[in-house]
Structure 1
Amino acid sequence: MKVLRTIGVLAAGLGLLGAWGTTAQAETRVTLKSAKSASSYYQMAAQFAEATKTGTKGDIIVTVEESQGSVQNVMEASVRPGNYMFTSPPALVASAQAGTGPFKGRPTDKFADVRALFPIPSLTMHFVARADRGINSFADLEGKTVLLGKGSFGAKEGEKYLELFGLNDKVKLASAELSNAVSALKNGQIDAFVTAGSWPAPNVIEAAAGMDVKVLSLSDDQIAKTGRDLAVIPAGTYSGQTDDIHTSSLSVIAYATTAMDDDTAYALTKTYWGQKAKMGQDAQWWKGVTPEMLANIKGKIHPGALRYYAEAGFPVRDDQK
């Protein structure tokens, strides 16, 4: 009897071990290289990780890693194995695959394995002016005081646009940090400020809530000259905004590599789109992502993601397949 009881205990133990082993094998782990921990894109990554855990009932666990930027994210795609995800503008991936820019002189064969999964909120340009300064178009910034900030994507992009549209010597640039933009606008120290981020942008919300502002639209021709993608911010996004805002944006895409199996890529993509509305209840920037933004993907989409897009009827070009 003692021997039988011992065998029973061992069998039960082995059964538990077998069940645990099955669970461990069923759980898929994904690493997502994102952005600096203080950035909105790191918050987005954390939200996506939580949404994936919820949407897959724990079958896929996404671990978010901090990054110093998109160049690092793309660079690591050439050496990271398995289920590695990262975020980057499409142009940077294209640069890596061509061996140009920051990737000049590096082997391109591994970068050729990068595949897109889905778009995430874009870096959208906002040109925010006091409504009482008669600034209704980009050309009206002539003779005005504009705050660009320093070092950020928005500051560099804003400076580029001033030169591109012949205003670089015709505006006065405020020597203040972007963090002071709203108070400076309210106090009349500046006429306008430039900021980039996923919309709705917190500093634009704050400015529009405290005073009458005009967020400028760019013409189709101006947007084409910037070399960026079109972003449409719907009317009513900001207080007092009665019309859609047409502006430029830098698309940001979530990528993987061919080392990720098709089933995992399919599950991640399906869960993302399935959970996006729920994520949008907690953070409005997700509301700006639409299936039409798949058009901004330059290069190939992962076969697993393509399977979902075919099922959902999302628009995909032949060159993306």
Structure 2
Amino acid sequence: MKRRTFLAAAAAMTTALALSGAQAQDKKFITMDSFPAGSTPGQFSIAFTQIVQKHLPIEIQVSVGKPATKSAVDASQQKVDLFLTAPTINQFMQTKTAMFAKVENAPELNSNLRNILNYNLGPYHIVVYEDSGIKSLNDFKGKKVFLGPPAGAATKVATQIMEAATDLVPGEDYEVMRYDWQSAETAFLDRQMDVYIAPTTLPSPSVQQFALVSPIRILGIPEHAWDKPSMKAALGLPGRTIQDIPAGTYDNQANKEDVRTIGSWVGLGTHKWMDEETVYNITRALWENIAELHATAAWMKGINKDTLFHESNIPLHIGAYRYYKEAGFDVPEDQIPPEAK
């Protein structure tokens, strides 16, 4: 009797494992580069992944830590399926400028990239703790400053802001802290540096957690800096806007007046070789369940039919384009993929 019971249990387990294996084989696995959970891209990636995995037999394996420039190159070489695309990075790749100046095949790599949708990343937050005594960008002298990850597009913007607003020389007048995004958040929370600069949504969970530790001050770009060549260069790139951060956006925010800074747009991107049906299905799943995305965070309500193509400067993926055409979206001519022409 015991032997028969054991054999029956073993048979049931074998059947369960076989079914589990079959289900795993039926499920499609794709990879995605993202950012820390408290960041704008991190919040979007979590919500997007949950929607796709809830409504489709797809599992998205998410990794964080890379700068967006590295993710763009990796996607262009089919090393990752989904990534944070940025119009500015696409421009740098297409024109072989900035961090891509010495990358001979940068335009070719850029031509391999495709978009699915764009959204507002948010304004550049220049954050200090109120007890640091820092009241303006000129007060960074002798301080430890995080401008962004090494070789990152956001780092270039922060450097352009500092160049326009001050006479301080990075590496000489202040120490440039070299972290990835997640490590930088931890370092600022632990008071291992004095200034944290990052583009992020309003309000930002990352910035709010700083304010929970100690009162913060958010610095703006001074009026005289907006006419400087470096600032005009920053704003002259695709995906860049002027945006205000209102006073009172965060609990424990010391400044009582709105501050003006640079805003930025990014998107969900892929590469041209990504399976058409897969991209079609994940695009459809997102838009047919857009209420779930909007319920995740107030800022995500800004992702809608009126904004999803805003500031994009690479073609849509053929799968996304197919869905948008079927669903009646008005696709701009310059975003129609070459595969559809």
State the TM-score, normalizing by the size of structure 1.
0.64
Residue equivalent to 2:87: 90
Contact 2:118–2:309 at 8 Å: present in 1 too? yes
Any idea what the Cα deviations from partners look like across 1:236-279, whole Å, max 9, x if unmatched?
Answer: 64246888765324433221233234443233223334555534
- Written as runs of structure 1 = structure 2, the 5 A alignment for 1:11-160 is 29-35=28-34, 40=39, 41=41, 44-54=44-54, 56=55, 58-65=56-63, 68-80=66-78, 84-97=81-94, 101=100, 104-106=103-105, 109=108, 111-120=110-119, 122=121, 124-128=123-127, 130=130, 141-142=137-138, 148-149=145-146, 152=149, 157-160=157-160
Contact 1:182–1:203 at 8 Å: present in 2 too? no
Residue equivalent to 1:292: 307
Instruction: Indicate the SS of the match to 1:84.
Output: coil
5+ long unaligned stretches in structure 2: 1-17, 178-183, 337-341
Cα distance in 1 for partners of 2:217, 2:199 equals 18
Q: 1:127 to 1:306 in 2, by over 3 A?
A: same
Name the aligned partner's letter for residue 247 of structure 1: T
Q: 1:167 to 1:109 in 2, by over 3 A?
A: closer
Contact 2:114–2:272 at 8 Å: present in 1 too? yes
Residue equivalent to 1:302: 317
Structure 1 position 218, deviation (Å): 6.9
Contact 1:155–1:194 at 8 Å: present in 2 too? no
Kindly report the root-mean-square deviation, in angstroms, between the aligned alpha carbons of the 2 structures: 4.8
Contact 1:147–1:194 at 8 Å: present in 2 too? no
Instruction: Indicate the SS of the match to 2:334.
Output: helix
Cα distance in 2 for partners of 1:178, 1:66 equals 14
Cα distance in 2 for partners of 1:150, 1:217 equals 14
Contact 1:218–1:248 at 8 Å: present in 2 too? no
- Written as runs of structure 1 = structure 2, the 5 A alignment for 1:149-298 is 149=146, 152=149, 157-168=157-168, 173=174, 179=186, 181=188, 193-199=195-201, 200-206=203-209, 208=211, 210-211=214-215, 213-216=217-220, 224-227=232-235, 229-230=240-241, 232=243, 235=246, 237-239=249-251, 246-275=260-289, 277-279=291-293, 281-282=295-296, 286=300, 289=303, 291-292=306-307, 294-298=309-313
Name the aligned partner's letter for residue 241 of structure 2: L
Q: 1:257 to 1:37 in 2, by over 3 A?
A: same
Name the aligned partner's letter for residue 253 of structure 1: G
Cα distance in 2 for partners of 1:173, 1:194 equals 13
Cα distance in 1 for partners of 2:82, 2:175 equals 39
| Bigger Cα Rg | 1
Cα distance in 1 for partners of 2:275, 2:185 equals 43
Any idea what the Cα deviations from partners look like across 1:161-205, whole Å, max 9, x if unmatched?
Answer: 121234426x97478877565787xxxx97xx4420422334532
Structure 1 position 95, deviation (Å): 4.3
5+ long unaligned stretches in structure 1: 1-16
Cα distance in 1 for partners of 2:163, 2:308 equals 28
Equivalences, count: 289
Contact 1:122–1:251 at 8 Å: present in 2 too? yes
Cα distance in 1 for partners of 2:293, 2:227 equals 34
Instruction: Indicate the SS of the match to 1:77.
Output: helix
